[in-house]
Amino acid sequence: MNTRANDQAPRLIDPSEAAFTAMLAQVEARRREFSELRHIPRDMVDEFIRVGLFRAATPAKFGGDALPPAEFLRKIERISAVDASAGWVASFGSALVYFASLPLTTQAELYRDGPDLVFAGGLFPVQEAMSEPGGYRLNGHWRFASGCAAADMLGVGISGGQDTKGKPLTALLKPEDVEIVENWDVLGLEGTGSNELRVVDKFVPEEYTFVRGGDVNVDEPLFRYPAIAYAAQVLAVVNLGVGRAALDYLTEVGSGGSGITGAPRLADRAYFRIELAKAESLLRSARAFFYEITETAWEIVLRGDPLDDRTAGLLRLAGTAAVKAGWQATQIAFTLAGTGAIYNGHPLQKMLRDAAVPPQHAFLGDGIFDSAGSVLTGGTPFPGFI
């Protein structure tokens, strides 16, 4: 089942700060291209590979780095501050944590050519699959397959059974076995290429299916960290990056010259200073909570202790708080920027549209507050929450 999205060998890995900075410069230079293409092209994904993002969740036993979550999240935050779509696609370097639930023989086959594997999944709506000896026969459509155009492996969601306790399975397919239906026409994050996947009469062996967040077969710290919470965090951190970029832009502009009408510069107006300071506090507070609970959970995992429901619930809560703080900070920046921000070419236009999308994700919606509140008050975690 091992495959590559192109025939070129992976580039040499360079995890240095200089290489990462050079990659960010490429993202900045090409972000308009990403929006026009409506996906991040493979050659840019290769640059993400080169700085180690797509081995960040590969087990060390298969040559990966299995990075601590906070280290990976900070990298995605930095990319997202330059371009949110690039950050969103790069964030799926974390998705290989799911592969730890596969049989070790399957994992060995997937990583046979190296630890840098690009995975994308259109997991919903979950489809019924026909059970056959040794696996499943698949037919159907799946949506929101971010980064699918550059993937080495694709996943789709199928119904589970008694063995999975009713939880859905993800079935892995080679890109040549899947049709990408290009229907990604959206308000923001247009460069993520989150198109629909179509599969017609394809067989997937049982050993190439797994439960997301299910029991793992790799005994390394990263794979004891809650996978569903991590999946929400890598998306939430995109908005921390966008919010940071929006406030930095606003601060620079506000400290500059007078406005369009010749009025005093923004930084000389009390309302501007007050609202900017409030937005800065909002974003930094959410960010501090986000990384604090991430580090706390990681320390528990490193000690070898089981992660309690309360800490896992706080991880989910911090993700939703972060995504909403990034969105609110960007809205404030747009409002304070004044009339010029209404023009389509204004930098805050794209930031505003991009920041509007992550809060709509099912992992990050308002329902998470209810679920988190239940856990914090000693209630039973809602299904799929932790």
- The predicted structure's pLDDT at residue 50: 97
Tokens 């090409």 correspond to what residue? 30
The reported pLDDT for the residue numbered 385 is: 87
CATH number for 266: 1.20.140.10
Does 55 share its domain with 75?
yes
Integer Cα distance of 299 and 283 in angstroms: 24
254 in Cβ contact with 274 (< 8 Å) = no
Q: Are residues 183 and 59 in the same domain?
A: no
3-state secondary structure of 194: coil
Residues 231, 352, single domain; the answer is yes
Please check whether residues 126 and 254 belong to one and the same domain: no
For the stretch 118-136, pLDDT in tens is 999 999 999 999 999 999 9
Q: How confident is the model at residue 5 (pLDDT cuts 50, 70, 90)?
A: very low
**Structure tokens given for 361:** 């994700």
By residue range, what is the domain housing residue 33? 17-110
* Stretch 371-378: mean pLDDT: 95
**Is residue 274 domain-shared with residue 343, that is, in the same domain?**
yes
Instruction: Assess whether pLDDT exceeds 90 at residue 111.
Output: yes
The reply to whether 383 falls in a domain is no
Residue 167 to residue 368: CA distance in whole angstroms? 19
Residue 217 is assigned to a structural domain of this protein? no
Interatomic CA distance for residues 32 and 3, integer angstroms: 30
Q: Is residue 220 part of a domain?
A: no
- Amino acid making up residue 62: F
Residue 67: name the closest of 309, 319, 322, 294 by CA: 294
Together in a domain, 281 and 232: yes
CATH number assigned to the domain comprising residue 100? 1.10.540.10
Instruction: Give, to the nearest 10 degrees, the angle between helix 309-337 and helix 367-376.
Output: 140
Give 236-257 pLDDT, tens digit per residue.
Answer: 999 999 999 999 999 999 987 6
Determine if residue 147 is left, alpha or beta; phi over 0 gives left, psi from -120 to 50 gives alpha, anything else beta. left
Query: What is d(CA 277, CA 288) in angstroms, rounded to the nearest whole number?
Result: 16
**What's residue 6's pLDDT?**
45
210, 237, 263 - which closes a domain: 210
321 and 343, same structural domain? yes
In this prediction, residue 1 carries a pLDDT of 52
Residue that terminates a domain, selected from 110, 144, 166: 110
CB 119 within 8 A of CB 152: yes
User: Quick check: 152 pLDDT over 50?
Assistant: yes
Are β-strands 153-158 and 119-127 bridged in parallel, bridged antiparallel, or unpaired? Answer: parallel
Q: Residue 345 domain-assigned?
A: yes
* The pLDDT of residue 235: 98
Q: Are 67 and 140 contained in the same domain?
A: no
Residue 2: inside a domain = no
In a domain, 10, yes or no: no
Confidence bin at 162 (pLDDT 50/70/90): confident
Contact 197, 145 (CB under 8 A): yes
Name the one residue in this structure whose structure tokens are 């989150």.
Answer: 194
Q: Are residues 331 and 240 in the same domain?
A: yes
CB distance 376 to 218 below 8 Å:
no
pLDDT of residue 163: 81
253 burial level (CB within 10 Å; 0-12, 13-18, 19+): buried
23 lies in the same domain as 75: yes
> In 126-262, which ranges are continuous DSSP H helix?
227-254
- Contact yes or no for 357/187 (Cβ under 8 A): yes
pLDDT in tens, 19-52: 999 999 999 999 999 999 999 999 999 999 999 9
Question: Residue 332 CB: number of other CB atoms within 10 A?
Answer: 21
Number of alpha carbons in the 13 Å side-chain half-sphere of residue 297: 30
345 CB neighbour count, 10 Å cutoff: 7
Contacts of 273 (CB under 8 A, 6+ apart): 267
- Is the pLDDT score of 386 beyond 90? no
Residue 8 has pLDDT above 60, yes or no: no
**Shared-domain flag, residues 368 and 231:** yes
pLDDT given at position 258: 56
In terms of average pLDDT, the best of 17-31, 336-350, 367-381 is: 17-31
- Is there a domain that residue 3 lies in? no
Note whether residue 6 is domain-resident: no
Where is the domain boundary, 57, 83, 110?
110
Q: pLDDT tier at 317 (50, 70, 90 boundaries)?
A: very high
pLDDT of residue 116 exceeding 80: yes
User: Average pLDDT over the chain, rounded to whole?
Assistant: 94
Percentage of the residues of the chain whose pLDDT score is greater than 90: 88
Helices 227-254 and 347-356, interaxial angle, to 10°?
160
Strand partners, 169: 158
CATH number at residue 138: 2.40.110.10
> DSSP secondary-structure letter at 206?
G
Count how many domains the chain has: 3
Task: State the pLDDT at residue 262.
Answer: 65
pLDDT of residue 380: 87
Residues 362 and 252 in one domain: yes
